[in-house]
Structure 1
Amino acid sequence: MRKTQLSCAILAALTSTHIYAQESDTKAKIETIEVTATKRTESIQDVPVAITALNGKALENLGIDNFGDYVEFLPNVTFQGTGPGQNEIYIRGAATTQSSIMLSSVQALQPSVAFYVDEMPVSMAGRNLDVYATDVERIEVLPGPQGTLFGASSQAGTVRMITKKPNHSGFAAGLDMSLASTKGGEISNAVEAYINMPLTDKLAVRVAAYNDKQGGWIDNIENQPGNGGYTGSAVVIDRISGGVLADPENTPVVAPQNDALIEDDFNDAVYAGARFGLSYIFNENWDLLVQHTQQTLDTEGVFAYDPNLEGQSSTNRFQPEENTDEFGLTTWTLEGRLEKLDVLYTGGYLDREIDTLVDYTGYTNGGLFSAYYVCNYGANVNAADETCLDPTKFYKEDTTSTRNTHELRFNTTIDAPWRVTAGIFYDKQEVATIGQFKIPSTEKFPDMARTLLGSEGINSNGGPFPSEVGFVNDVTHTIEQYALFGQLEYDLTDTLTASFGARWYQIDDTYKGSTTTVDVSRRIRAFGSLDTDELEAVGEDPEAVLAAVESGQLQVGSLDPDGTLTVDDTIYKFSFDWKATDNILLFATYAEGFRPPVTNRVGGGQASNQTGAFEGFRIPVYSTTDTLDNYELGLKGDFFDGQVRLNATAYYSEIQDLQTSRFDPTNISFLVFTDNVGDAEIRGLDADITWLATDDLVISSAISLLDTELTRINTELQGIAPGEGARLPYSAKFSGNINARYYFELPESRTGYVNASVAYTGDRLAGMVMGAYVMEDATQLIYGTGSGLEIEEEAAVYEGVTYSDADGDTFRGGRYVQDSYIIANLAMGVTKNDWKAELYIDNVFDENAVLNIDTQQFTPKVVTNRPRTIGLRFSYDYY
């Protein structure tokens, strides 16, 4: 059978790094695509950087609309979170405890992986911009530090979504539609369309629009205490609150009710938006591109099930859960040439608004003041009268974030053995958040409130808080960055090239605002100035604080007297690449990456619990910068006359002062702060191979081998975090996938194809704190049954807690295991010229994957994938 140009194009849609070009009438070879990973346009096989790229046709044919789908084909990338718009990206195992989504905009680590839309960085702590992948040219994933060219948060890698731009060559339009049914869930449907139109010889526009309704499959079922439902436990409440109840084992707890919220398939998600692009050619040397994307992501319900309930699609929620995430992204690029220089100025403005409503009834299971919030206790209360009321609570957060970036970049174009890329960069982010915690039951206990807060803390109704809102965060976080960067490449010989890159940066981090009880701005200024009067004004003992600073327990050297956290440094990159043959490239690279420090809202304060591991403990004023040094050796090669492509990279990474987001229920309760857990090492191997097995069959595969290890633990986290030698979280030792596509010719010039893929993800550990046995015991008491989730024991005792189990022994230390899983997909389709019809089955064997074990509610919830989904896709393109 002769290979046609059409069938070659279909094969192109399979792979992650290549397209297929017909070399003769009987033979095809793998041909590379062009990428801009080094801020120059180059062949992917000629860039001495490990890159995975998936072009737009491949995204379409694989049914990929968001980055979560794409990760299935990237074994070295992990996508952790609690649902659409609430995820973080990790690459090559450089991960710690995931940020609390409920407080991500107030107190969270900066991402370790940068996410770009074209030239614009759009990363955000805990909530990466979830951009719908419509009308996309390609997606590039650059593992390993990319900080010299892409800046902060490119510590472990960079992900770039490259959109399609207006085309001046002619009119084009297209339409994609899909309809799908999920097992045990609702119908999903999507419509995408684009139109490209040259208006004049110099002006062209392109518009893409989409609406994708993703039906739910998680059921919010009636709470049934005693049958796996939420019963509540005064023992847990008393334990967390420091033993304040007189007789917790016999204190009744009012179980929350959710009758009005019972709903099947309540976790819907709807992506809706449009992108507008305008391209203007001034002359043969200069052109301008302006684009604007407007998108709204609406979700309801949760994307996790309660493992204590029967089945793997049921949950108990007691308040409505909603998330509206809307953004407008405007970018502009002016590109041209000055003599022997290519010049590019690019900038962008991102305006994002997130409105979140979350059930946080689970706070009662882990919050330090749980008894205060829900139980009738105190000096004048008899044990027989003690009771704990309905613990139902909700959290409402309104977040507005803006980001404004500018970059001016120069590339040399002279025909010489050296090439230079250099530029300046400016970035300003501002995140303004108002978070409201509703804690209604405290109104009923004015006597207890007076005891704890004093008469000035009591409202007109007698309770310590207003009737609607109990606690408020009002915080604005501003990050301003300046940078100079450059990279020099020099051809030592015709086949050997050396390159050197560097980036100087300065980051100013300003954290301002207040809570119901704390003036955050004044507190940070007090620790920045170490003024004794100011320290006293914020409730601190100046002598104790100064002693903690003198001993090195507290670091404040990067904090200005006005409360601004300022850091500056220079990072470097060195590499050699050798073109061993025309088809084989070998390279060696050393690169540095970093994440900036994070100011803590309650920094400098003493822990409430001053026993065990917390004796003498103070919350860090800020987590210090963590750095990653990476060494790697790589191979890129085409073999057997272009029929086999093998790309492989072996790497070793050292992380210093690894940042983590953490809380402990006996200490800081629900409030998250950031800390440096210690040092870590990562060893790994990434490889992908593509084989044109026959004229009709192409097979591609990718694997990731990882060995992660904590090599040093911060002394203040010993007994809380895992010990030396422990694995980093969310990192599977082995992951891989294989994909095969077979095509065949049909009558009337139609072409049929069958595509099958299988992806395997190995076991991973959840989080950085060894609290799984504590949470498991609480789950047993609260629900009358355990979660059934596997726990890896990592310490004989969990030294960070002072409470004991029923036998009087301290709890063991361990982390939940996110079990391995296999996902298989199948698709069959027919194409002819400009249309395609496809039947697909995602998750063929209906695997219930453990994507994330969420412990933010102090009992485990399992974030899972969509069950088996069968659907139809149809697309039409007119040129």
Structure 2
Amino acid sequence: MKMGATNRSTYISQLLVGTAAILIANPALAQDAATDDVQADEGNVIIVTATKRDTTIQDVPFSINAQTQEDIQRSGAVTLEDLSRNVAGLTIQNLGPGQSQVSVRGISAGQVVRDQPGVKEQVGVYLDESVISLSLFTPDIDLFDLNRVETLRGPQGTLFGSGSVGGTIRYITNQPTLGVTEGQVEANVNVIDGGNVGGHLKGAVNVPLGDTAAIRAVGYYTRYSGFIDAQGPGGGQNVNDGERYGGRIALTFEPSDTFSITPRIIYQKITANGFNRQETYNLFANRFTATRPAVQLGEREQFLLLPEAFEDETFIADLTIKVGLGAHELTSVSSYINRDILVSRDASALTGSVSVDLGFPAAAVVLPSNLRDTTDLSTFTQELRFASDYDGPFQWLIGGFYSDVQRDYRQRLPTPGYDAFTDATLGAGTSAAVANGFPVNSPFNSDLPFDIEQLAVFGEVSYELTDKLTFTAGGRYYDFEEVRIITTGGLFANGDSGVVDTTASDGFTPRFLLSYKASDDVTINAQAAQGFRLGGVNDPLNTPLCNAQDLALFGGFQDYSDEKLWNYELGVKTQGAGFTFNAAAFYNDISNLQVTLDAGSCSSRIVFNVPEAYAAGIEAELGFSPSPGLSFNVSGSYIQSEFNSTLPGVLATATGIRDGNRLPSVPEFQLSANGSYEWELGEATTAFVTGSFQHVGSRFTQPSDQENNPRTFVHGLPFGGAPATAATTIDLELPDYQLVNFSAGVELENGLSLTAYVNNLFDENPLLSFDRERGGRARLGFNIGQPRTFGVTARQTF
């Protein structure tokens, strides 16, 4: 950790402690209330800003879901993954703390992993007006004191730019409110069945500063329970526990109805002591060894020679200025993001598998080896919008966007004692000859600085052709350039020295919408929109590790082009007394889909373009309240997403790119249902019970998992007395799973509420993604979900 980051961490920690102290010492300073950003009347109308204007969710002319603050609290959701199960068409692939992949409507390119820094995101993620998405490493924002989470389905390139090819997720926070003193404190304790104890303490306060300003401060601390046990010298019980703490402070200055300025600072740090990986095979712990103790790893178990860790420290500063100019409004959004990320993995099995291939002695194979991936990111973005602000049939918006991303990505593989074995086996001086200026006893090293600059101009106009029919058209022109420099060294690397690769791209993406108001309660929408995702350059294969077959198969993929998508959609939105029903049918025609593949023994991953693919389906969400206090919500999606292209010869089998094969990581069918009932226990006390059911269909982690499945992985490593023919057979189709959650509680008139809950009632062990290293020669396993969890939450609003 750099000294500056440490000092900042200490300062912010002190600031959060001070905020918590204010909340505890001054309980009268808080009260839970809606902000100007979203309002709910007695008809439960939700106002969203998906079109960068205040609009009711039923009037947005495309498919959108909004989970409100009450939805989040009642469901007990603490992560976007929790929320996703209640949102039709939204899928989260859990790859560990702060490392989840998001896909919408089946638009997925396969499992992106920590050492693919050049891959761009397919779903844009925003915190209010600031873009925070960064492929796999999008910040895992705490959901406390959020006003809502919006899921905008379908490409949103016109207003939200690159990376919104499948859709956009927007975290909308509660904003400072003038003239109101309010807030809340929340405490939780939970225990995982077979794991340890976790919990959180969170607080928010809104304080007016005279008649024209207000400040809102939020602080939170969460202790994550662990549930993975690890055998081996680096193991222990519940090794994947961790913590998250942070907060945000926003100040709004509004001297008049036509001018407001809101600066904000956000800080968050996540640490985890391990990963949610359940291993099936490990080079050092398997049932084949004879000269080492044979080990059969069980459910929720792994093997470690070294402890693992994850750290993600995020600092965001943004500034939003709104100026009313008569019948127009000018909005400026400036944001700066600094992030320091460390992924520290036990790579002993990976390094050891290479050592076996190179003929190193057993003493070298069992050396502890630590792969450390670090990312230092600095991002500056500026958006300027000018829009109409009047009543009338013609509305318009025009804007410009600029971003500059500086990202330094580094890998080191410290393996004490390795150089001596290298020189003894391959010849004196070998380790020094391949080091390329990197440290000793580190057989793989890489430095990958990226500089990505992007400029865009966008606009959208709408016109009410009649009282019932509205036409909207928009477009975005973008121009970007990415410069990447790669330097590698060590026995496993190619020894690249300052190789510069430049990728440049520009283009225009349009969107057209028709909205027909059939009646006061029924609206029919149609849309045709294009989305895009920027291309890039693959990292060179680790050729010293590749066998001849893998080198021949994957050695020819260098760069990859922009991904484009046309979305065609027809939807209906209805509402009536006590119910809402929204549904949409869609077809996505994808060209140059960027697919991520595992390059087997090379311990590398590549991205390349598939000429044609598609995703088509239907999604529906129904909410109804048949009687006072009783409500039900049902949402579901059926998505068929497949390749329309077949690669020639053996490439089709090796990659899974075959006409009719499914796109990876997306279930065909997803269903969520929940119901709640509340009743008066007394004049000032309300009781409630809530139950939910979620079904997630079967998936594949990578396209190639559909070929020759169930797959037999021949480990081919005669280590520890294991035969060279040792093999493990695994069904790579991730099975469907069902989760049942239940909660009950009371709400008192004084703002105090108590909720007891159990999540994953039947202790399902969902397999979320398949984890492999060196094509199964080092390690095989699955990333898994959280076991049954019991908890109690107390919340006090003031």
TM-score (norm 1): 0.79
Tell me which residue corresponds to 2:524.
Answer: 586
Within 5 Å, give how 1:354-393 maps onto structure 2.
Answer: 354-364=341-351, 371-372=357-358, 375-376=360-361, 389-390=365-366, 392-393=368-369
Amino acid in the other structure paired with 1:197: V
Tell me which residue corresponds to 2:6.
Answer: none
Within 5 Å, give how 1:682-693 maps onto structure 2.
Answer: 682-693=615-626
Tell me which residue corresponds to 1:864.
Answer: 784
Residue 442 of structure 1 deviates from its aligned partner by 4.7
Question: Structure 1 CA distance, aligned partners of 2:201 and 2:721?
Answer: 44
Tell me which residue corresponds to 2:479.
Answer: 506
Tell me which residue corresponds to 1:246.
Answer: none
Question: Structure 1 CA distance, aligned partners of 2:616 and 2:525?
Answer: 17
Residue 464 of structure 1 deviates from its aligned partner by 12
- How far does the alpha carbon of each residue in 1:90-114 deviate from its partner, in whole angstroms, 9 at most, with x for none? 111111221122x133xx4211001
Question: Structure 1 CA distance, aligned partners of 2:719 and 2:356?
Answer: 17
- How far does the alpha carbon of each residue in 1:192-232 deviate from its partner, in whole angstroms, 9 at most, with x for none? 001110011112101010001011111112xxxxxxxxxxx
Aligned residues with identical type, % of pairs: 25
**Secondary structure at the residue paired with 2:499?**
helix
Tell me which residue corresponds to 1:167.
Answer: 177
- How far does the alpha carbon of each residue in 1:358-394 deviate from its partner, in whole angstroms, 9 at most, with x for none? 1112325875x7522x625xxxxxxxxx987325421
Q: Relative to 1, partners in 2 of residues 1:45 and 1:773: Cα closer, same or farther, differing over 3 Å?
A: closer
Within 5 Å, give how 1:457-468 maps onto structure 2.
Answer: 457=433, 467-468=440-441
Give the conservation status (yes or no) of the 8 Å contact 1:606–1:616. no
Give the conservation status (yes or no) of the 8 Å contact 2:183–2:203. yes
Question: Structure 1 CA distance, aligned partners of 2:333 and 2:431?
Answer: 57
Question: Structure 1 CA distance, aligned partners of 2:726 and 2:271?
Answer: 44
- Is residue 408 of structure 2 the alignment partner of residue 432 of structure 1? yes
Tell me which residue corresponds to 2:57.
Answer: 44
Q: Relative to 1, partners in 2 of residues 1:172 and 1:779: Cα closer, same or farther, differing over 3 Å?
A: farther
Question: Structure 1 CA distance, aligned partners of 2:544 and 2:791?
Answer: 56
2:381 corresponds, among 400, 405, 426, to 405
- Is residue 452 of structure 2 the alignment partner of residue 479 of structure 1? yes
Amino acid in the other structure paired with 1:852: S
Amino acid in the other structure paired with 1:583: D
2:208 corresponds, among 182, 198, 219, to 198
Question: Structure 1 CA distance, aligned partners of 2:544 and 2:410?
Answer: 25
Tell me which residue corresponds to 2:292.
Answer: none
Give the conservation status (yes or no) of the 8 Å contact 1:607–1:617. no
Q: Relative to 1, partners in 2 of residues 1:365 and 1:501: Cα closer, same or farther, differing over 3 Å?
A: farther
**Secondary structure at the residue paired with 2:335?**
strand
Question: Structure 1 CA distance, aligned partners of 2:102 and 2:786?
Answer: 19
2:109 corresponds, among 84, 96, 101, to 96
Within 5 Å, give how 1:624-639 maps onto structure 2.
Answer: 624-639=561-576
Question: Structure 1 CA distance, aligned partners of 2:718 and 2:746?
Answer: 54
Question: Structure 2 CA distance, aligned partners of 1:571 and 1:755?
Answer: 44
Give the conservation status (yes or no) of the 8 Å contact 2:348–2:366. no
Residue 582 of structure 1 deviates from its aligned partner by 0.5
Question: Structure 1 CA distance, aligned partners of 2:193 and 2:271?
Answer: 22
Give the conservation status (yes or no) of the 8 Å contact 1:141–1:160. yes
- How far does the alpha carbon of each residue in 1:544-602 deviate from its partner, in whole angstroms, 9 at most, with x for none? xxxxxxxxxxxxxxxxxxx4211000001111110000110101100111110111232
Residue 307 of structure 1 deviates from its aligned partner by 3.3
- Is residue 539 of structure 2 the alignment partner of residue 601 of structure 1? yes
Alignment root-mean-square deviation, CA: 3.0
1:697 corresponds, among 624, 630, 639, to 630
| Structure 1, unaligned runs of 5 or more | 1-11, 23-29, 222-257, 377-385, 525-562, 787-803
Give the conservation status (yes or no) of the 8 Å contact 2:715–2:725. no
Question: Structure 2 CA distance, aligned partners of 1:58 and 1:872?
Answer: 17
Amino acid in the other structure paired with 2:251: L
Question: Structure 2 CA distance, aligned partners of 1:287 and 1:622?
Answer: 45
Question: Structure 2 CA distance, aligned partners of 1:429 and 1:522?
Answer: 19
Give the conservation status (yes or no) of the 8 Å contact 1:363–1:370. no
Tell me which residue corresponds to 1:541.
Answer: none
Tell me which residue corresponds to 1:738.
Answer: 673
Question: Structure 2 CA distance, aligned partners of 1:742 and 1:772?
Answer: 49
Residue 603 of structure 1 deviates from its aligned partner by 8.1
Tell me which residue corresponds to 2:421.
Answer: 444
Question: Structure 1 CA distance, aligned partners of 2:742 and 2:434?
Answer: 62
Amino acid in the other structure paired with 1:175: V
Question: Structure 2 CA distance, aligned partners of 1:119 and 1:715?
Answer: 45
Give the conservation status (yes or no) of the 8 Å contact 1:180–1:187. yes
- Is residue 246 of structure 2 the alignment partner of residue 273 of structure 1? yes
Amino acid in the other structure paired with 2:759: D
**Secondary structure at the residue paired with 2:600?**
coil
Tell me which residue corresponds to 2:21.
Answer: none
Question: Structure 2 CA distance, aligned partners of 1:785 and 1:174?
Answer: 61
Q: Relative to 1, partners in 2 of residues 1:606 and 1:177: Cα closer, same or farther, differing over 3 Å?
A: closer
Amino acid in the other structure paired with 2:684: S
Question: Structure 2 CA distance, aligned partners of 1:697 and 1:763?
Answer: 32
Question: Structure 2 CA distance, aligned partners of 1:123 and 1:437?
Answer: 28
Amino acid in the other structure paired with 2:598: F
Question: Structure 2 CA distance, aligned partners of 1:757 and 1:626?
Answer: 37
Question: Structure 2 CA distance, aligned partners of 1:333 and 1:695?
Answer: 41
**Secondary structure at the residue paired with 2:306?**
coil
- How far does the alpha carbon of each residue in 1:105-127 deviate from its partner, in whole angstroms, 9 at most, with x for none? 3xx42110011101111111221
Residue 40 of structure 1 deviates from its aligned partner by 0.7
Residue 513 of structure 1 deviates from its aligned partner by 3.5
Amino acid in the other structure paired with 2:121: P
Tell me which residue corresponds to 2:713.
Answer: 777
1:718 corresponds, among 652, 660, 671, to 652
Give the conservation status (yes or no) of the 8 Å contact 2:711–2:732. no
Tell me which residue corresponds to 1:109.
Answer: 119
Within 5 Å, give how 1:214-363 maps onto structure 2.
Answer: 214-221=224-231, 258-259=232-233, 261-307=234-280, 309-363=296-350
Q: Relative to 1, partners in 2 of residues 1:201 and 1:743: Cα closer, same or farther, differing over 3 Å?
A: same
Q: Relative to 1, partners in 2 of residues 1:610 and 1:784: Cα closer, same or farther, differing over 3 Å?
A: closer
Q: Relative to 1, partners in 2 of residues 1:458 and 1:733: Cα closer, same or farther, differing over 3 Å?
A: closer
Residue 720 of structure 1 deviates from its aligned partner by 1.5
Q: Relative to 1, partners in 2 of residues 1:288 and 1:873: Cα closer, same or farther, differing over 3 Å?
A: same
Give the conservation status (yes or no) of the 8 Å contact 2:317–2:336. yes
Tell me which residue corresponds to 2:291.
Answer: none
Residue 772 of structure 1 deviates from its aligned partner by 7.3
Question: Structure 2 CA distance, aligned partners of 1:604 and 1:487?
Answer: 46
Question: Structure 2 CA distance, aligned partners of 1:277 and 1:464?
Answer: 46
**Secondary structure at the residue paired with 2:398?**
strand
Within 5 Å, give how 1:709-858 maps onto structure 2.
Answer: 709-715=642-648, 717-722=651-656, 723-770=658-705, 776-778=712-714, 816-833=732-749, 834-856=751-773, 858=776
Q: Relative to 1, partners in 2 of residues 1:522 and 1:392: Cα closer, same or farther, differing over 3 Å?
A: closer
**Secondary structure at the residue paired with 1:830?**
strand
Give the conservation status (yes or no) of the 8 Å contact 1:478–1:509. yes
**Secondary structure at the residue paired with 1:446?**
helix
Give the conservation status (yes or no) of the 8 Å contact 1:765–1:815. no
Larger proportion of strand: 2
Residue 769 of structure 1 deviates from its aligned partner by 2.5
**Secondary structure at the residue paired with 1:178?**
strand
Question: Structure 1 CA distance, aligned partners of 2:274 and 2:228?
Answer: 8
User: Which structure would you say has the larger Rg?
Assistant: 1
Question: Structure 1 CA distance, aligned partners of 2:252 and 2:364?
Answer: 64
Amino acid in the other structure paired with 1:403: T
- How far does the alpha carbon of each residue in 1:710-768 deviate from its partner, in whole angstroms, 9 at most, with x for none? 10134483221222110111111111010000111112420100000000001111212
**Secondary structure at the residue paired with 1:70?**
helix
Residue 502 of structure 1 deviates from its aligned partner by 0.4
Question: Structure 1 CA distance, aligned partners of 2:615 and 2:719?
Answer: 39
Q: Relative to 1, partners in 2 of residues 1:856 and 1:336: Cα closer, same or farther, differing over 3 Å?
A: farther
Give the conservation status (yes or no) of the 8 Å contact 2:181–2:207. yes
Question: Structure 2 CA distance, aligned partners of 1:495 and 1:877?
Answer: 43
